Amino acid sequence: MDVEQFRRAGHAAIDRICEYYTNLGAGPVSSSVKPGYLAPLLPDAPPEHGEDFSAIAADYERFIVPGLTHWQHPSFFAYFPTAFSFEGILGDLYATAAPNPGFNWSCSPASTELEAVVMDWAAKLLGLDPAFYNASGVGGGALQTTASDSALIATVAARERIMSLSAHAQTPLSLDKLVVYVTTQTHSLGLKAGRVLGLHVRALEVRAQDSYALRGGVLQQAMEEDKAAGRWPFILITTVGSTSSGAVDNLPEIQVVLANHPEVWLHVDAAWAGIALCCPETREELYLAAINAAADSFCTNFHKWGLVNFDASTLWVRDRKVLNAALDVTPPFLRTAHGDSGAVVDYRNWHLALGRRFRSLKLWFVLRGFGAEGFRKYIRQGIALNAVLGTLIAGSDILELVTPPSLALTVFRLAPPGIDPSVLNTLNSAFFARLAQRSDLAITQTVLNDVFCVRFAIGAARTTEMHVRTAFDAIMEEARATLTAA
């Protein structure tokens, strides 16, 4: 493809994106293809001779689009939102158009320096303590692919810290004695970090009466048990806004407990809810003061609710030395004069891989395009829409809220008056199966301490009150049909 062919194909691609978003709300949310649909439609090997892009673009429409789930559809309420903005698309386009692997400063100085600047912008937007700014020279932030990567990196840094603390002890720690703490409501990222690292993971119990948040007393007791048994909890992965129900672990209580255990790294995963910290009115309920006072690392995903196209997970650490010490590898072919002098940040030592995309461009474009005010307005709109849904469910005679609505997430179930509680899970499983069959909205399930629930997460950029009310009508329709069939 030459420059002029690319110009035509590129303009057509942009026009196609415009058309897609203009018409998105009118089509289905989910795909109706069956597993294995695609392979029979495509050749089983690459073509021997190059094809014209018009044929490729046509096949995209014919074969790929029917298999897409439309995460940006205004009636997408499943999982968590995957952010989208036109500014985000443009940032990604600029980045991919002049790709560089960004592993050290001289790879492309602008990549490193813009990341350092916009991570500080993001920290300020969210109200993080200046200790986390790159400008502090002590803490700092970097863009990661996902919250799973961020939690894994935090766990590696934490392990490095406790192992180095013990390195001069008479009997150095064995990896087999280390324990990662999560809760039963922590996202799979906690268990996955443990699996990747081959370390024990202990899931601390949370209770319904605490809205599924970790309490200090539970942590305290677990610490005592494990220490007495010769095990070493070395990181606690807490959640601000859990996936299942938006639970916020009790960070003030946790802070008090961990004050006596400085060897335990406190990671705060706020992958979804952390973005809401841009609105000052959320900061108390999300325990920002405790995050600022006590977190060793903090993660939120701009690619979930934060308008930046996937992937853009922001991770901040209080002490970059620990992180860099854990991840630094500098063979001769990666040495540079600037790096050797310490004058520059080499972001390869802030993440798992070597190469990295120029992700800060899209974050920069989004923060400038929306401005802090526009960004907050968008988040507040999601919270307001969720309040509408919460009111509708609370007012229904056959649905009930399982937990109080959290920011833009509502968890509910079918619970008609007088029903035998022992059949509720079976009933809700059937209810959800009906909802999952529909292609005009997307919702997901979860289980909260053995209670089967339906989750409704708001945050697609084009969702309006009409879409929420229409979705509620569909939910009620399926709820009634479930009861009729039961």
Check binding of 47 to a copy of itself (CB under 8 A).
Answer: yes
Q: Are strands 297-301 and 232-239 parallel, antiparallel or unpaired?
A: unpaired
Report the relative pairing of strands 313-317 and 409-414 from DSSP bridges. Answer: unpaired
Q: Give me the 341-370 binding string for a copy of itself, x by CB under 8 A, dash otherwise.
A: --xx-------xxxx-x---x--xx-xxxx
Identify which of residues 257 and 413 has a Cβ nearer to a copy of itself in the complex: 413
Q: What are the two backbone dihedrals, phi and then psi, of residue 69, each rounded to the nearest 5 degrees?
A: -90, 130
Strand order, beta sheet including 200-204? 140-144, 313-317, 297-301, 265-269, 232-239, 178-183, 200-204
User: Hey, which residues between 215 and 254 contact a copy of itself (CB under 8 A)?
Assistant: 243-244
260, 220 contact by CB (below 8 A)? no
Q: Which of 140, 143, 188, 458 binds a copy of itself (CB under 8 A)?
A: 188
What residues numbered 65-84 form the site for a copy of itself, per CB under 8 A?
A: 65-72, 79, 82-84
**SS3 of 470, please?**
helix
For residue 320, what are its two tokens? 């970059």
**Two structure tokens written together for 104:** 């050290």
- Evaluate whether 409 touches 448 at the Cβ level (below 8 Å): no
**Residue 395 C-beta: closest distance to a copy of itself, Å:** 26
- Where in 440-459 is the site for a copy of itself (CB under 8 A)? 444-447, 455
Q: In the set 92, 129, 296, 478, which binds a copy of itself (CB under 8 A)?
A: 92
Please list every residue from 163 through 182 that binds a copy of itself, using CB under 8 A.
163, 174-176
Query: Which residue lies nearer to a copy of itself by CB, 287 or 365?
Result: 365
Total count of residues recorded for the chain: 486
We find the least distance from the C-beta atom of residue 257 to a copy of itself, in angstroms, to be 26
Q: Which of 68, 83, 86 is nearest to 18 (CA)?
A: 86
How far is it, in rounded angstroms, from Cα 163 to Cα 146? 26
Q: Would you say 355 or 404 has its CB closer to a copy of itself?
A: 355
- Which residue, 44 or 397, is less far from a copy of itself as judged by CB? 44
CB of 320 to a copy of itself, least distance (A): 16
> Binding segment for a copy of itself among 196-204, 259-267, 315-323, 474-482 (CB under 8 A)?
196-204
Rounded to the nearest 5°, which phi and psi values hold at 230? 85, 10
Task: Rank residues 83 and 407 by Cβ distance to a copy of itself and give the closer one.
Answer: 83
Partners of 315 in the β-ladder = 142, 299
| Interacting residue with a copy of itself among 131, 327, 401, 476 (CB under 8 A) | 327
